[in-house]
Amino acid sequence: MNVDNTLSSLRGQLPVVAVFAALLLVPPLFFDPSTTYLSRRFITVMIFAIFAMALNIIFGETDQLILFMGGIAAVGSYTTVLTAEYFAVSPWLTLFVGALVSGAFGGLICYVAARRQFTVIVLAIVTFAFQMIIMEVIVGLRDVTGGTTGIPFRDLALPAVENLTGMGAFAIQFYVLVGVFAVVFGVYTWLTNSKYGLAFAAIRQDEFAARATGIDVIKLKVFAGFLATAIIGFVGPFYAQATGIVIPGLFSFNGVDVLVLIILVLGGLRSRFGPLVGAAIVIYLDNLLSQFGQWRTVTFGLLLTILFIYFQDGVLPMAKSVYEERGIRDRLAGLRSGE
């Protein structure tokens, strides 16, 4: 029995191993030293996959819809860059300061929302207002933040690692982001399989009943808010690194929040690999439609509408449903047992 359980557990981990093995093969197969366009696209996929995974924690698990992810990423980025400049240290050290400040800000908003029992819509409106406020503050403090001109930023490069491995800067950054995604993926998996996952499920189903059973709803919502916004604040500087500049326009509502929401819903809410699949589809479509010029946004919206109609629960959940309904799993099990 123990052997069977072990084998079953190992089989369950095969998709995880396969996905991360495929990610590790991306730079040698697709990164071209003569051009950075495709490399940037893959890096963008990883960044938005991590953003969507963070939203999965706070929205997918606790029904807290935040619409200031771009603002939080900006807070993390500017905190990281400005703190590194002020103390004359590496931004690799101040990354954690940016994440902590972002998490504290997000946790505070979630605390107020939980205490005041904000609905999903009210919280979304409040956080959207903070998105606008953060952008205006950054532009207004132009003597510190550089305003709309921004701050050139390439300080997360690792030349020593590049020289040691012979890989390019974008390949190194991609692998770093794969590592970050792996950590976030592991944290999310642990959360959903632990007592926190059960408590989150109870909150989603009936928050008042969860309170009545002794679950500390406020504490759990603040925890999810802190964790999610800290992740977003940590990854924000990598987004700036990929473009070479920290600028308010990079963290706009349309440029971050809208895309992350689409990615999460398209990939599959509360799905472990949904954010990665959704990010790959959305970024690929965005790249594919660049030739349409001024009609790009319209065409992009129409294609996404069609996708949402046919994949209402997300791409991965629907694929899993088809996999199970058509008996594919049973057939594969029969082949493995030699039947």
DSSP structure string for 89-107: --HHHHHHHHHHHHHHHHH
CB contact burial 284-323 (16+ within 10 A = b; e otherwise)? ebeeebeeeeeeeeeebeeebeebeeebeebbbbeeeeee
Token pair, residue 127, equals: 């956080």
pLDDT at residue 311, as a whole number:
72
pLDDT for residue 143: 94
Pick the CATH number of 2-259 from 1.10.3470, 2.60.40, 3.40.50, 1.20.1070: 1.10.3470
Query: Residue type for 30, please?
Result: F
Instruction: Delimit the domains of the chain by residue range.
Output: 2-259
Q: Identify the H or E element spanning 149.
A: none
pLDDT at 78: 97
Q: Determine how many CB atoms are found less than 10 A away from the CB of residue 257.
A: 25
Question: What is the reported pLDDT for 327?
Answer: 56
Residues 256 and 275: their CA atoms lie apart, in Å, by 14
pLDDT for res 226: 98
Per-residue pLDDT at 5: 55
pLDDT of residue 303: 75
281-298 per-position pLDDT tens digit: 989 888 887 777 777 778
pTM strictly above 0.85: yes
Exposure of 115 by Cβ count < 10 A (0-12 exposed, 13-18 middle, 19+ buried)?
Answer: exposed
pLDDT tens, position by position, 34-87: 778 889 999 999 999 999 999 999 999 999 999 999 999 999 999 999 999 999
Q: What is the DSSP string of 238-293?
A: HHHHHHTEE-GGGG-IIIIIHHHHHHHHHH-TT-SSHHHHHHHHHHHHHHHGGGGG
First to last CA, the chain: 20
Rounded distance between C-alpha atoms, residue 173 and residue 164, angstroms: 15
Within the chain, which residues score under 70 in pLDDT? 1-12, 312, 323-339
